[in-house]
Structure 1
Amino acid sequence: MSLDPAALLLVAARIVPRLPAWLSAGLFAGAAELAALTGVAGVGQLRANIARAVPDASPRELRRLTRRGMRSYMRYYEESLRLPTVSEAQLGQRVRAVNDGWVRAERAAGRPVVVALGHLGNWDLAGAWATRFLAPVVTVAEHLEPEELFQSFLDFRRGLGMTIIPLERDGSTFRALLRETRSGVPLVPLLADRDLSRTNVDVALLGERARVAPGPATLAVATGATLAFVGIHYERLRGPRRQAAGSRWGIVITFGDPITPPDGASREETVTALTQAWVDELGEAVRAHPEDWHMLQPLFVGDLDPARLKPAGSVA
């Protein structure tokens, strides 16, 4: 049995917005329980990844965290598919931003900001909120097959107000990011805790060797934009805020402080140092909220296919 979130998105996008919220939430929660119980593809890897964040967890605690992780993962999909029906007032109530003052100051000064993201919480909700309440969002989408699925995915995120650049292997993606970053004052959030390219950076994450994408640091170095890490986790909503949000769940977006490049380092050394800096913050965020880290793929070098274990590519 396998879980294909991309195919689920294509089918569910046509159905979920038409369902009552309580029903769609219940269906996705049920799917999460079934996935955790039957051990569909990805659940074992999720458990292994969470175990790195909570090394002292007993087998029972690890099963509980994995179950909660699958519920969080499926909640992300259900909420994201309903985003086109969420009002601006509801959107504002579903998000609580922490330490965003310096980001607003950078935007007021005419400077773009690049943020590195992990697969934490609900990054689509965060992007939709940021577009309306913080700054224009420019980001990258992984190319999916078939093409119909990929176009549906692009239309979905662009419908939320974000500028989406497809991830291509020919270098055109980075050139497009450069143009967008230099031509305005955007917020550029890039999911980077899973390497999708031939160029990658070796880092230490949760005490183990891992490989992540160099994109956020490389873009910040190339454009002079400020780089920071952003963590996202869920929180239960109660009382008047829950009623105003139209949801039992909201997210907390925590902006890290700007990461300072090292003095006197080469371009490649700077990219490596900046990347390790945001990965350190990612590790702290994952330890604090392991159930909201939606990492169902191999990330750590110890879990990677030996065919992928080539020397890390140049990031220059």
Structure 2
Amino acid sequence: MTGQPPATARERLVDGMYGLGWGAVKKLPEPVAARLGRTIADTAWKRRGKGVLRLEANLARVVPDASPERLAQLSKAGMRSYMRYWMESFRLPTWSTEQVRENVHIHDVHHLTDGIAADRGVILALPHLANWDLAGVWVTRVLQTPFTTVAERLKPESLYDRFVAYRESLGMEVLPHAGGSAFGTLARRLREGGLVCLVADRDLSSSGVEVKYFGETTRMPAGPALLAQHTGALLLPVTLWYEEAPVMHGRVHPPVEVPESGTRAAKTSSMTQALADAYATGIAEHPEDWHMLQRLWLADLEPRTRNGAGNGAGGGTGSRADA
């Protein structure tokens, strides 16, 4: 892309690895891909790298009474769940609609289908639980409803392009997170009665809303709450969890209503806290499926990051390219 600095050697390596994943893993028999994912996960867990240690520290807040042994078990299961996400994602383009229908079970889906039928626009807001790409495929294929989402700009640009092409191949409209134009496009889609899906449990802008999350303060994006206020769209939290492969479950939680009174900031704060509470419920029930390998709580961030600089709460979600 014009104006972009040339990719570094590391960025080219990362891009090549993901290209290999999408090119090779999708050709493997499913049991082989599953075993490969577990092997990679167990190897990474044994090395005790930064991601594993951060995951374990995050889980310690979710399960505060867990012993060190229990936390180690959860982090190992968490890495396996994370790699299951990747193995599934690399293979999703080969899944048939019938496979998706048989292996994805969404509970309380009437909240979503009633909203779609009402033609008022619907926002689905999710945390980093299980496989939101698979849930998205269920929406596009089983419900036969297209939707719009956003993706973080990644380096190199070719890697971002891979993610966009991958998600567009699954029936999603993908907008870049950077640049400020995404909000306007999302609002238009909602006013037209469309569906918007956002992974929204980690602030990418350094201007998110402070919420209490497992008893401590973090920031979450204001976008879902603001979109609901601007457009009148229905705001629905969604949580996901894995069962025995290849089955995944999900739950559509009751709508987060716009408060009748208060300033816009107060309404946004209240609605974002309601999303955080719904996410916390799902994460507490299935902590091993929470893929949060980055710093999240403000107490864990460097001082300059807390003030809006650096890559902490305002940074991205890494190679997953989530919103």
Check whether TM > 0.5: yes
153-162 vs 130-139, which moves further? 130-139
What residue is the counterpart of 2:219 in the other structure? 211
Q: Report the 3-state secondary structure (helix = DSSP H, G, I; strand = E; otherwise coil) of the residue aligned with 1:203.
A: strand
**1:1-316 correspondence runs (5 A):** 8-134=17-143, 135-168=145-178, 170-183=179-192, 185-236=193-244, 248-310=245-307
TM-score, normalised relative to structure 1: 0.90
- What are the superposed Cα offsets for residues 81-111 of structure 1, whole Å, 9 maximum, x if unpaired? 1011111111101110111112211211212
Equivalent position amino acid for 1:153 in 2: F
Equivalent position amino acid for 2:72 in 1: R
1:305, 1:7 → 2: CA distance?
32
2:138, 2:194 → 1: CA distance?
14
Unaligned 5+ residue runs, structure 1?
Answer: 237-247
Q: How many residues align?
A: 298
Q: Deviation of residue 304 (structure 1)?
A: 1.1
Distance 1:190 1:300, change over 3 A: same
8 Å CA contact 2:93, 2:169 repeated in 1: yes
Distance 1:82 1:176, change over 3 A: same
1:267, 1:6 → 2: CA distance?
41
Q: Deviation of residue 167 (structure 1)?
A: 0.9
User: Any runs of at least 4 consecutive aligned residues in structure 1 with deviations exceeding 6 A, and if so which?
Assistant: 4-7
137-146 vs 5-14, which moves further? 5-14
2:164, 2:229 → 1: CA distance?
27
1:41, 1:7 → 2: CA distance?
22
Distance 1:42 1:174, change over 3 A: same
What residue is the counterpart of 1:239 in the other structure? none
Paired-residue identity, %: 42
TM-score, normalised relative to structure 2: 0.88
2:56, 2:19 → 1: CA distance?
26
Q: Deviation of residue 7 (structure 1)?
A: 6.3
1:108, 1:68 → 2: CA distance?
39
1:39, 1:154 → 2: CA distance?
31
8 Å CA contact 1:9, 1:77 repeated in 2: no
Backbone CA RMSD of aligned residues:
1.8
Equivalent position amino acid for 1:139 in 2: T
